[in-house]
Homo-oligomer: A and B are copies of this chain.
Amino acid sequence: MGVVKVQALEWDGEVLRLIDQTLLPLNQEYVECRDYRCVARAIRQMQVRGAPAIGAAAAFGMVLAVKEAASDPPGFESFMRDAAAELRSTRPTAVNLFWAIGRMEEKLRHLAGEPLPVIIKQMESEAVAIYLEDQEMNRRIGEYGAALVPPGARVLTHCNAGALATTGYGTALGVIRAAHEQGKEITVWADETRPLLQGARLTAWELMQDGIPVTLIADNMAGYLMQQGKVDLIIVGADRITAGGDVANKIGTYSLAVLARAHNIPMYIAAPTSTIDFSLEDGRGIPIEERAPEEMRQMGGHVTAPPGVPVYNPAFDVTPAELITAIITDRGVATPPYRESIGKLAGK
């Protein structure tokens, strides 16, 4: 199995160490969080990003919060409520964030009445479990997904659903990695993914580090490539999947799905089952984050648009289930009709 050389987050028992993804690929600097507010800030500023990665980061944020809360036992419960609320408020679209915080809260409830050192120890174990389970889920996604990738396939991906977006290996890039490890000699087109360029800065960088052939394109070139017959399949990650199979993912995913359909190209989603939101029937209920206009007006301090120009900057869009060929999860591959197939995979 190939060595994955990038790690979005590391936990040493005291400190959550995050590679600052806003500075990659040029600078490899780390954010070291010793309290939950630091974790919340890092998620909000996208120093850590990617649905599974922010879920795991928030879980460790809850561990840090428990340690902070332990210094004032009478205020413990209200401190934890505030911490969970602040971590939840960081970003609205990726459901893994809420899933991980909810799981940590449930663990905390089960530990009620235990001595504080036990609570701390058990909460840490739960966060580590989330972390390790995510890695394991990515490996399984990779295995299931690689079976769908033909030898020599030219695979297009958008944004970064890689090791950096998860606790390691990646979802969409996990499938790509697994296919590469199986010797399928695939090549990758990486959409640069405006405005924050996760495709250019993170996906291209990850794949180059692993020696997987990658070519960078602007988002607006994807349709032309499909028209020229240069794309065999598309695979992306997900920030939230509804019970009916609608998928929220990085802005631009919907356009790719429409283009894929027009060119008869398979459109695959790769995500762990922790990304499925069974409380939502369809994608209309998914909140779409709008981010600051400055992300579109400058790049690394270099002004790229008239100062003060009005900007619309939605960070995600929703692709309806009918445009999705299959959803690759850690429990298998779901195909239409999704209400049935997703329910079956999740044991519902």
Contacts and interface: CB of A to CB of B under 8 A. Distances in A.
Contact of A258 (B197, B223, B225): B223
Contacts of A303: 26, 300
B310 A220 contact: no
A75 to B, nearest CB: 44
A264 to B, nearest CB: 13
Given A194-B192, A194-B220, A304-B201, A311 B215 contact: yes
A43 to B, nearest CB: 22
A208 interface: yes
A251 B220 contact: yes
A147 interface: no
A132 interface: no
5 contacts: A158-B220, A189-B312, A208-B306, A216-B311, A221-B312
Interface in A175-224: 189, 191-195, 197, 200-201, 204-205, 208, 213-224
A226 to B, nearest CB: 9
Given A201-B305, A205-B306, A305-B216, A255 B314 contact: no
A312 B304 CA distance: 22
Nearest to A187: B310
A161 to B, nearest CB: 15
Total identical chains = 2
Interface size class of A (residues with CB under 8 A): 35 or more
A3 interface: no
A305 to B, nearest CB: 4
Given A296-B192, A302-B301, A304-B299, A219 B216 contact: no
Contacts of A205: 306, 309
Contacts of A227: 254, 317
Contact of A25 (B208, B305, B314): B305
A5 B26 CA distance: 40
B296 A299 contact: no
A344 to B, nearest CB: 29
A345 interface: no
Interface in A107-123: none
Contacts of A299: 299-300, 302, 304
Contacts of A217: 296, 311-313
